[in-house]
Structure 1
């Protein structure tokens, strides 16, 4: 279903959107990747115009400034909930499949086992609330939808945690990094590939988790980043989230389960460490 199909990617210039468009073109798809001034996802007329005559709509556009959302929740809601609603409605009217990229922040982050896809939402931040509302809107507006939750994204085409740590490691003898928040570092190239595989498999409408397998703390991930750079992982010292308090609470446990993928015969993304080894030369190029 990829080759010769027509895809609209909202947020095409972002870190995930860029890799998704590249993968689509590589596989022979016709990609509509409008610039932000050509597609404001909160403008119903622009959305209707752009979505016309496409087979799949993927929404990578989002308000991702997690801390700012605490003070600007209404603005974040407009982009993270109203935008997906309009895209999903237009997709339904056009007979297109809708793919909504969502987040681990829709959960409280206080679990001790990977969150299943059907776990109750309990966001603790404005960002999580607005993204949860976006999920609800997509399900309500477009029966033919895939909600794909991801977490701890990094990639070559935007600011991300590994690039920041690589820069700091070049400037300092020690790094102090939170060790009591656990998640699944996920490469945008891998997430793009998973989205394409879900659509190609004609996966049933529903919610899926698009993260690497395994789990690690920010501290452990940073140790792997500095090891990649040829530095001693011992330079990375552990600290607590309490010592780095920020306006928006971060989930302590952001590990997502992948049972829904297994149920439809779609392989999850590989282990985070193995995928980091593959990603590092691309992501850290020039760092």
Structure 2
């Protein structure tokens, strides 16, 4: 297979923007794609601000900051998405991911790697509906992508060994720690983390503690971020969607029942940082 020189990140939300920054900082020519011009501009400003903070702290030079920015093409044109690896970080719906990969497969060579950043949808289900399914792989980053070291690399039923190895190597080039996971519901982190969120919300539902207190206690005990701050960062719709997918995939066990508290937040459009309000105000 050809070496990875250019990476296209589809989706300019918090995750996609973070992955684009990581890609460009790692030396790759980077394409940041989103259909929304507003989201693209927000991503550009966010990456520039993030790099400026690194420069102010002396972690990169002003020249390095500019070189990183120069490696990124911000675009709303799908036809610009020609790359050696495509990483999708769009809405957590299988149909949307399949549609995007099918569209971009027609623009790219048969050996372009199609990496999904899905946090819960089986990689094999996405691959089954995409041309050349052997080049579809899971590459699950964590928020905030520039800071979090872990990347889950998920092998679908027909993902080729070469694609797996290149994805692992690319993760390492990005200074991440790749962990190979089975294509199981929630993979590893989101399977284990369901209880971090669900038990916290049960305490709130039963009025045994408020959300701010729970966050304070968990952070004081060593967690970098409490469950409610983390849900606000990830996005209530995304987190709630993952809970539903994992719950249904495992046969709807009572212990993993999605929270009505979170369902109400999603229904009200209080999705967290991206809407200015979730459990906290921003």
TM range (shorter): 0.3 to 0.5
Whose helix fraction is larger, Structure 1's or Structure 2's?
A: 2
Q: Structure with the greater relative contact order (CA < 8 A, sep ≥ 6): 1 or 2?
A: 1
Q: TM-score, normalised by structure 2?
A: 0.41
